[in-house]
A and B are shown apart, each in its own frame.
Chain A
Amino acid sequence: MNGYIKKAIKTNEDYSVVLGARSDGRLTTSDYINAVVSDFTEFHGDRYYGDDKAVIAGIGYLKGMPVTVIGIEKGKNTEDRIYRNFGSAHPEGYRKALRLMKQAEKFSRPVLCFVDTAGAFCGIDAEERGQGRAIADNLAEMSALGTPVISVVIGEGGSGGALALCHADRLWMIEDAYFSVVSPESCANILWKDTGRADEAAKALCLTAPKLMNLGLIDRICKKGDLAGLADSLSEEFKSLNEMSKEELLEARYMRFRKAGYR
């Protein structure tokens, strides 16, 4: 453990991390795409139902290497946020993501995902179009996707809706992002019938990047705001993943999740 992680575990600031990850003015997926990927070309639609604006997907170059980029976008201002459904995807968003991942596999392009969502959308339409099935499909299909995948949680990692883009060879987090099974507010409400105890819940849930690193659930903590550095590390990591055979890659990915949480 390095000094930074130790310090972050000692200071009890978990709930402020959650609030910070939700705050305005943070870099969103489109900022990351603009900074990390050149010639980004966006594609639309899941080919079954529609085009989910909460999910941005397309292709571009990462330091000269063609990549497929998929990310959940929350939006920049009120109008944009409404357009993006506040970064909560419907089933068609996950299906669009999966369609482009399959396409990436076909053309041997690595897949880069940016995750920033409070969770998958909760609504009648989303349920009736199979929110559960869409997420489940992504988990199962990504586990056998024959091309390298790196996912970076850049802000909020909200439960299953975030996990659906995180079945990757490498799971990275920006240092002030969080990833949790449940929002601290819901957790406090369910356990103690008191959303006011969200700070306690946040602490107990071990949802910050340093704590998740310590549990061995994520692979790297990336510095906030250092997008050039992120592009460098992504490109390096994809290069080393590309050297593995498809069988090695899939076996390593299987074991990565197989061992999650085991100690």
Chain B
Amino acid sequence: MELKRFFLKANNDLETADGKGIERKIVCRKCHKHIAVSQIRDNYFVCPECGYYFRVRARRRILMLTDRRSFIETDREMSSRNILGFPEYDDKLRAAMEKSRETEGVICGEGMIDGHRICIFSMDSDFMMGSMGYVVGEKITRLFEYASVRHLPVLGITVSGGARMQEGMISLMQMSKVSAAVKRHSDGGNLYIVLLTNPTTGGVDASFAMLGDITLAEPGARVGFAGPRVIEKSLGRSLPKDFQKAERVLECGFIDAVVPRRDQKEYIAKLLKMHER
């Protein structure tokens, strides 16, 4: 069912299109209308016709939220190895690097949002579905440690299918590692804002995605621990339509606000201002 939609590839053409390609039209996945790429880009990658949220990749997210040229990336060179010798993992890593043109599934660094200094991690859906392996856990942990020492707030933009199976228990233990770093950052009186994007599931949902002081989400984002297919199978019937959708999760009490994409920067800047010291 939904899962097929869930793992739809990010529309790279959409992001990389510039100059000549910009007047090209693409078909919206939801309303199936032909819409000019430039129009979608100007509308924060949201379909101007039906409001469908196109997937935005990690680097673009940072660009959309931070002040121009303020972002400095950290640990960019870190990349994964096949620690367990898991079959086909080397090939998958190589393919993910080629496809995403990133070295791993998360981008970390420091930047400014409306003049406020902040550490940011942004997960990439195009790198093995944002799955968390050793390097993803390590980069995020380092970011929290860096932010703790400097008393900086952290903004986490999450998108993930969960822990990366190919790294076995090492990937599972990243949940513990990052959670401990978040806790230290929090106990130091520092702010952590989470922006949940579609989808944030599994081990990421059950660790740092759910540990924010303030938890925001994009409209319609799937947020949950277990995969819908697993639950459907054990229930033997289909799930309610709004199940694990950000709006429903807010009703259940686990999200502070669902913030439309065009308002996110302003919203986060406002929060940062209120927490300034």
Contacts and interface: CB of A to CB of B under 8 A. Distances in A.
B171 A143 contact: no
B263 interface: no
A128 B169 contact: no
B170 A122 contact: no
Nearest to B226: A122
Contacts of A159: 163, 172, 203
A139 B180 contact: yes
A212 B230 CA distance: 27
A141 interface: yes
Interface stretch (B57-65, B83-91, B106-114, B265-273): B83-91
Contact of A129 (B85, B138, B183, B252): B252
Given A127-B231, A140-B179, A140-B211, A258 B141 contact: yes
Contact of B169 (A127, A181, A204): A181
Contacts of A163: 172-173, 175-176
A212 B173 CA distance: 12
Which of A129, A182, A190, A207 gathers the greatest number of chain B CB atoms within 10 Å? A182
B209 A132 contact: yes
A204 B173 CA distance: 17
Interface string B173-204: 11111011111101100000000000000110
B253 interface: yes
Interface string A90-102: 0000000000000
B231 A182 contact: no
A205 B179 contact: no
A231 to B, nearest CB: 26
B180 A254 contact: yes
Contact of A130 (B171, B172, B253): B253
Nearest to B179: A139
Interface in A104-129: 120, 122-124, 126-129
Contacts of A254: 180, 184
B104 interface: no
B88 A166 contact: no
Interface in B154-176: 163-165, 167-176
A165 B253 CA distance: 24
B225 interface: yes
Nearest to B240: A124
B53 interface: no
Nearest to B239: A124
A135 B208 CA distance: 10
Contacts of B124: none
Contact of A261 (B167, B211, B223): B167
A207 B172 CA distance: 11
Nearest to B243: A124
A136 B182 CA distance: 10
A261 B252 CA distance: 36
B247 interface: no
Interface string B210-251: 110000000000011111001100110001100110001000
B87 A160 contact: no
Given A132-B224, A159-B172, A206-B168, A260 B177 contact: yes
Contacts of B164: 181
A1 interface: no
Nearest to A181: B172
Contacts of B181: 258
A257 interface: yes
Given A122-B226, A132-B210, A140-B183, A258 B177 contact: yes
